[in-house]
Amino acid sequence: MLKHVVVPIHRDGWKFVAIFAGVTIGLALLWAPLGWLGLLATAWCVYFFRDPPRVTPTRPDLVVSPADGLIVSIVDVPPPPELDMGAVPVTRIGIFLNVFDVHINRTPIAGTIVKTHYHKGQFLNASFDKASELNERMAIRMVTPAGLTLAFVQVAGLVARRIVCHLVPDQVVAAGEKFGLIRFGSRTDVYLPAGWNALVVTGQRVVGGETVLADGRSTEPARQGLVH
């Protein structure tokens, strides 16, 4: 029961928690009410870097969400040009992470990393579709054991200024494996294999490493949804 209440903190977050705590002590020494504000900020920092365990479905041909957040866009567009995947449009699923979402990124499917490319850019609001092309980002191309190619991209946002990615070419990964994070508010895009349809809809909230975004064995057309 305790492990469901006390969530681990990602290792990259401890230094920020320490900084927030140090500033809080300084503020408290200056003026007690400022210390309480600092304590709230430190609590938020701990919450931001939480790293809860996830249960990932492992059947082949399932694409799981690489991040927690809100589906803000499902469109057919060419893959990122820096990944050399051609110009034929594929389905791109855009996931927006606000500052209260878990920011750990996870691999969407099992396979081998083929290429990574870091692109410097702007810091527009990550909920806008143009952020996928204009913002600072890390793009990753991978191939599945069945030989299918897909891509996923970490996109910096209006507040986020730092993308952390631990993937390298030729690395073999499992579905749902943790590979990095984005500080502090961001977007993660998934470019599905050609011909695959999204099994999520715009406006839906997804859970990183658990929610199935697409199934290569499914013949279901792209889903539609209603807000209730």
Coil, strand or helix at 86? coil
pLDDT band of 106, cuts 50, 70, 90:
very high
Judge whether 73 counts as a catalytic residue. no
What are 26's two structure tokens? 């300084």
Separation CA 90–CA 195 (nearest Å) = 7
pLDDT tens digit sequence for 15-56? 888 999 999 999 888 888 888 999 999 998 888 889 999 999
- Catalytic choice (65, 127, 132, 186): 186
Q: Give the C-alpha separation, 58 to 102, whole Å.
A: 21
Span 147-184, pLDDT tens digits: 999 999 999 877 656 889 999 999 999 999 999 988 77
The 10s digit of each residue's pLDDT in 219-228 is: 999 888 887 8
Strand partners, 151: 141, 191
Average pLDDT over every residue of 57-75: 96
The length of the chain, given as a count of residues: 228
pLDDT at 185: 66
Average pLDDT for the chain = 90
Residue 135 DSSP class: B
For residue 160, what pLDDT is reported?
57
pLDDT reported for residue 186 = 84
CATH architecture for residues 62-215: Distorted Sandwich (2.70)
Positions of CATH 2.70.70.10 in the chain: 62-215
**pTM listed for this prediction:** 0.90
pLDDT score at 86:
94
The pLDDT score that the predictor gives to residue 107 is 98
Whether residue 189 is predicted with pLDDT greater than 70 in this model: the reply is: yes
